C-alpha cells in the first residue's frame, strides 16, 4: 500500500530546475534510500514530503491526501525528521528533547517518561542519559537522541537527511546498525538521503539513484546491484563500489553449502556465520582455500562457504 506518491512534480529554485517531471511511489514499511551527488534533489524531496517546500507543479500525496490539504503541523506530527546537525535544544535535558513533541501535544508526564525510557533503550543508550544535557554527549550519542526524538510520537514516516555524515567511521557503522535494527523491529517507512554508496547498499531495501532531479535507477537492492542494465551515469557513479558494498552487506550464512555425508569441517579454515560474503572471499584468498567451514557463535559447524557457488546464492536471495 502506497504511503507517499509524487506525480509529475516540478520544483525550481530561482529558475534552476531541481526536480523535473518527478514521479515516485513509496510503499508503507519500505526503507528507501535516495542516493546521488550534491544538487541532485535529495533534500528537496524530503522537504516536499514534510511540507517545508511546495511543488511548483504536480501532486504530492501523503497517506492518500494531497499535502496541499494537510494542516502543516499535523503533517509534520505524522513524521520524524533526522538531520546531520541533529538540532537538539541545548537548554533541555535529553528526556526533554526526546519528549518535545509529546509535551506540545499534552501527553501526560508519566507517559512521556515511559516513552523516553523505551526510546533511549531502543537507540542503544541507558536511561541514565535522560537527565543529561546535549553538551555532555558525544556526536554519535546526540545522533542517537535525534533518532529517538524522531520516533517519540510514533510517526508512520521517518525522514533522514544524511544523519550520520558528521560522525567518525566507527560510530557511523554502529548508528547504521541501530537504524537498520529499528526498521526491522518497528516496520516504519524510512526515506534516507545519502551520497555514500556503501551506506545506501547497507541500509536500503530499495535504492533510488538521482541525476539532476530525475530518477536514473529505482530498484530493490539485489536487482539494483546485480542487474546488468545500467546507464552510463550509473556506471560512472558507482564503478564497482555498489557490488563490493553488496557483498559486504550479505552474510556468509546466506550462501551455505552442505555435505551431510562427510562433515569434514575440520579440514578447512573456519569463519563465523555473521561474517560478510566479502570477508569470506578475503579469507579464502588469505588461506588459499576455495572452501571455508561456517560456524555459529558457539563454534558449531553449520555448513560450507564455497567460492564457486557464491553467485548462485546471491541470485537466489
Q: Is the dihedral of CA 91, 96, 102, 104 positive or negative?
A: negative
| CATH superfamily placement of domain 2-248 | P-loop containing nucleotide triphosphate hydrolases (3.40.50.300)
**Residues pairing with 157 in the sheet:** 79, 189
pLDDT of the residue at 58: 95
> Exposed e or buried b for every residue in 161-197, given b needs 16+ CB within 10 A?
bbbbbbbeeebbebbbebbbebbeeeebbbbbbbbbb
Residue the block writes with cell 517531471: 21
pLDDT of 316: 79
Selection from 176, 237, 182, 173 nearest residue 29 by Cα: 182
Region of poorest pLDDT, from 124-138, 149-163, 225-239: 225-239
* In the predicted structure, residue 192 carries a pLDDT above the cut 70: yes
Question: Given strand 65-66, what is the order of strands in its sheet?
Answer: 16-27, 2-13, 57-62, 65-66
Q: Write the DSSP symbol of residue 251.
A: B
Query: Residue 256: phi, psi to the nearest 5?
Result: -80, 140
* Predicted pLDDT at 226: 83
Question: What is the assigned CATH class of domain 251-316?
Answer: alpha beta
19: pLDDT strictly greater than 70: yes
Q: Domains of the chain: which residue ranges?
A: 2-248, 251-316
Average pLDDT over residues 4-11: 96
> Does 137 or 165 have the greater pLDDT score?
137
Mean pLDDT of 14-23: 90
Q: Does residue 265 register a pLDDT over 90?
A: no
User: 227-252: b or e for each residue (b if 16 or more CB lie within 10 Å)?
Assistant: eeebeeebeebbeeebebbbbebbbb
pLDDT for the residue numbered 124: 87
Residue 311's pLDDT band (boundaries 50, 70, 90)? confident
Query: Within 10 Å of residue 201's Cβ, how many Cβ atoms?
Result: 25
Report the chain's mean pLDDT, rounded to a whole number. Answer: 89
Q: Is the pLDDT of residue 222 over 90?
A: no
Q: Tell me what pLDDT residue 227 has.
A: 78
- Whats the size of the chain, residue-wise? 317
- The per-residue pLDDT for range 88-100, each reduced to its tens digit, is 899 999 999 999 9
Amino acid at each position: 500500500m502506497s504511503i507517499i506518491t509524487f506525480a509529475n512534480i516540478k520544483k525550481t529554485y530561482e529558475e534552476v530546475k531541481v526536480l523535473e517531471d518527478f514521479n515516485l511511489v513509496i510503499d508503507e514499511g519500505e526503507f528507501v534510500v535516495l542516493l546521488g551527488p550534491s544538487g541532485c534533489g535529495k533534500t528537496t524531496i524530503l522537504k516536499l514530503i514534510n511540507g517545508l517546500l511546495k511543488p511548483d507543479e504536480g501532486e504530492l500525496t501523503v497517506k492518500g491526501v494531497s499535502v496541499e490539504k494537510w494542516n502543516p503541523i499535523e503533517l509534520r506530527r505524522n513524521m520524524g525528521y533526522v538531520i546531520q546537525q541533529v538540532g537538539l535544544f541545548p537548554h533541555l535535558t535529553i528526556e526533554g528533547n526526546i519528549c518535545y513533541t509529546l509535551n506540545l501535544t499534552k501527553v501526560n508526564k508519566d507517559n512521556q517518561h515511559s516513552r523516553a525510557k523505551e526510546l533511549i533503550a531502543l537507540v542503544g543508550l541507558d536511561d541514565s542519559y535522560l537527565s543529561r544535557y546535549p553538551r555532555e554527549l558525544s556526536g554519535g550519542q546526540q545522533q542517537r537522541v535525534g533518532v529517538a526524538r524522531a520516533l517519540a510520537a510514533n510517526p508512520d514516516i521517518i525522514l533522514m537527511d544524511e544523519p550520520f555524515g558528521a560522525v567518525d567511521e566507527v560510530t557511523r557503522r554502529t548508528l547504521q546498525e541501530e537504524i537498520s535494527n529499528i526498521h526491522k523491529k518497528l516496520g516504519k517507512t524510512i526515506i534516507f538521503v545519502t551520497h555514500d554508496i556503501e551506506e545506501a547498499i547497507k541500509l536500503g531495501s530499495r535504492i533510488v539513484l538521482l541525476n539532476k532531479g530525475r530518477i536514473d535507477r529505482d530498484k530493490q537492492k539485489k536487482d539494483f546491484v546485480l542487474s546488468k542494465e545500467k546507464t552510463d551515469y550509473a556506471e560512472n557513479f558507482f564503478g564497482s563500489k555498489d557490488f563490493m558494498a553488496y557483498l559486504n552487506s550479505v552474510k556468509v550464512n546466506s550462501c551455505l553449502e552442505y555435505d551431510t555425508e562427510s562433515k569434514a569441517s575440520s579440514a578447512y579454515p573456519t569463519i563465523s556465520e555473521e561474517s560478510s560474503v566479502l570477508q569470506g572471499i578475503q579469507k579464502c584468498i588469505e588461506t588459499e582455500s576455495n572452501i571455508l567451514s561456517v560456524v555459529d557463535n558457539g563454534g558449531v559447524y553449520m555448513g560450507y562457504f564455497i567460492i564457486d557457488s557464491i553467485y548462485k546464492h546471491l541470485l537466489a536471495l
